[in-house]
Amino acid sequence: MSLAFLFLFNLKMVAKGEKVMSINLSQPAVELRESRLKTITGYEGDAAELLSRNDIPNRERSFTQCGSCSADQVMNLLTQIQDAAVVEHGPAGCAGDIPMRNGVFRTGNKRMGYNVHNVKYLNTNLDEKDTIYGGGAKLEKAIREAKRRFNPKAIFVTTTCASAIIGDDVPGICNELEEEFGIPVIATLCEGFRTNIWATGFDSANHSILRKIVKPARQKQPDLINVISFEHKFLYESVFRQLGLRANHIVPLSTVEELERISEAVATVQYCETLGSYLAAGLEEHFGVLEIKAPAPFGIKASDELLREIGRIFHKEEEVEKVIISEKEKIAEDLERLRGRLTGKTAYIAAGGPLAYSIIALVKDLGMEVVGTSVWHHDQRYDNDDERLNFLRFGVETYGNFKVGVCNKQAFEVTNAINKYKPDIAITRHLATVWAAKLGVPSIFAGNEPTEMLYDGLIRFGQSIDDAISNPAYIKNVAKHSKLPYTDWWLKQGTYSFLRSEQNV
């Protein structure tokens, strides 16, 4: 099946609004978030309205400052697999993110005590001649070179806008070489123009892993739980040890063999729907690995619910209740102290949808107020279609309504919002922290592996906020010597004034 046909097929599904099978592993292309999850990147309003509808059309912008590519998120995962190679079929410019990915990979291996080495990556370096005559021969040569140079256990072949426009038969070439090599050679279709939702790249990578790497369980391991994470760190470890459970962190820093056997786990837990929704749902649907259907463990109530669901699935209900009581007792004194210092303070949050909604729980548990929230995108449904995974609903029902805008990482909108709200603290992901600093607003960065999770995480988070608010001198000095690239005119406009109205979508 050609890439052009798959692209047009997905566009047709989006236009019709039809439901395509969520986890269809028979095709090399993942179904787009636009059709699968009805994801939007433009919205202004409040959380209650987002919850009341599942048919909100995406509001395009008449001006866009920047964007992200789904292929970048594919590299975020696939380059971090220890003994797999990645061949990117595209121009050399598409390799611009690889030095950063290599740094993350080497640092992660050193932190975990693993052998420190470079990512196994090649690029086909397509040029103008290839766009006319085709790049199939170059691709085959690059795949063979990856096999010779790295001797990997699997080879992922990723596409780009250029290779997709040419129409090279990437799946066909991969299938032929897979038969010859005797290892998985996996076409991962992730060209940037195929989707407006950069997070689709996570789905594309996980789709390839589910299709060609994961094997049916030889034997279930009754104490094993998959943890879908951005980086292999010791998340949940202290709680899991108390419950007699072992954490299997995926996908980064895993080996191909370890990924083959993730079907042997009893359950899968995630804390970021953007990253893990597709993989968790696919493991449940095709391999019988239950997804933990509970909110991410940010804040006290969400932590309670997640642990109780884990206890139910692993038949450790009594042990979980003891852990909950013990963990709450440990933080009681510090929590009271932090609430005394932070109650009434205001926060602005900018992050990916699920994590932003989860961070609200932390802020509210500390007695603070959320003055505004900007999320990069919003999914109107979930891969497992279970309301227990609706982090937004949990937040609204537990902590009340709040203002929300969907800004697709637009820095000019984030800066405008921070300037208008003038919060005591800005809590942000990705590159948004710098804009708060330039405005003289104290800020903290919510990293890829949130140390804010569970009960002790709430205390760490609260202490970070207290430190930032109590010591503003540095940020004030940064603002004094910074110049924003935006005019006073823009800072006085409505934050989402470049969004088209819903009637004009």
Per-residue pLDDT of 89-112, as tens digits, reads 999 999 999 999 999 999 999 988
User: Rounded to the nearest 5°, which phi and psi values hold at 42?
Assistant: -140, 120
Q: How confident is the model at residue 57 (pLDDT cuts 50, 70, 90)?
A: confident
Greatest distance between any 2 Cα atoms in the chain: 70
Share of the chain above pLDDT 70, in %: 93
What are the structure tokens assigned to 467, written together?
A: 């430190």
- pLDDT, residue 12, reads 42
Is the pLDDT at 199 greater than 60? The verdict is yes
What are the structure tokens assigned to 178, written together?
A: 């897979």
**Window from 40-44, 224-228, 282-286 with minimum mean pLDDT:** 40-44
Mean pLDDT of 289-310: 95
Q: How confident is the model at residue 17 (pLDDT cuts 50, 70, 90)?
A: very low
- pLDDT, residue 14, reads 40
Mean pLDDT of 155-175: 93
What are the structure tokens assigned to 259, written together?
A: 């990924």
For the chain, domain boundaries? 331-492
Mean pLDDT of 188-207: 91
- pLDDT, residue 334, reads 96
What are the structure tokens assigned to 377, written together?
A: 């995108």
Is the pLDDT at 20 greater than 50? The verdict is no
Mean pLDDT of 397-414: 90
- pLDDT, residue 65, reads 85
- pLDDT, residue 263, reads 97
Encode pLDDT of 322-355 as tens digits.
999 999 999 999 999 999 999 999 999 998 878 8
Rounded to whole angstroms, the Cα distance separating 359 from 494 reads: 25
CB 297 within 8 A of CB 361: no
Q: In the CATH hierarchy, which fold is given to the domain comprising 331-492?
A: Rossmann fold (3.40.50)
- pLDDT, residue 193, reads 87
- pLDDT, residue 449, reads 64
CB 174 within 8 A of CB 157: yes
Distance linking the first and last C-alpha atoms of the chain: 32
Q: How confident is the model at residue 55 (pLDDT cuts 50, 70, 90)?
A: confident
CB 225 within 8 A of CB 310: yes
Residue 72 Ramachandran class (φ > 0 left, ψ -120 to 50 alpha, else beta): alpha
443-445 vs 425-428, strand pairing mode: parallel
Task: Between 138 and 452, name the one with better pLDDT.
Answer: 138
Mean pLDDT of 283-293: 96
Mean pLDDT of 410-429: 92
Encode pLDDT of 169-178 as tens digits.
999 999 999 9
- pLDDT, residue 3, reads 42
Q: How confident is the model at residue 11 (pLDDT cuts 50, 70, 90)?
A: very low
Q: How confident is the model at residue 150 (pLDDT cuts 50, 70, 90)?
A: very high
User: Rounded to the nearest 5°, which phi and psi values hold at 406?
Assistant: -105, 115
What are the structure tokens assigned to 80, written together?
A: 């971090």
Rounded to whole angstroms, the Cα distance separating 368 from 144 reads: 57
- pLDDT, residue 217, reads 95
What are the structure tokens assigned to 239, written together?
A: 């709680």
Is the pLDDT at 368 greater than 80? The verdict is yes
Q: How confident is the model at residue 447 (pLDDT cuts 50, 70, 90)?
A: low
Encode pLDDT of 178-191 as tens digits.
999 999 999 999 98
- pLDDT, residue 389, reads 84
Residues 6+ apart with CB under 8 A from 445: 428, 429, 433
DSSP letter for 270, please: E
Mean pLDDT of the chain: 89
What are the structure tokens assigned to 143, written together?
A: 């795949």
Q: How confident is the model at residue 1 (pLDDT cuts 50, 70, 90)?
A: very low
Residues 6+ apart with CB under 8 A from 268: 225, 226, 227, 228, 262, 276, 279, 280, 283, 284, 289, 290, 291, 292
- pLDDT, residue 232, reads 66
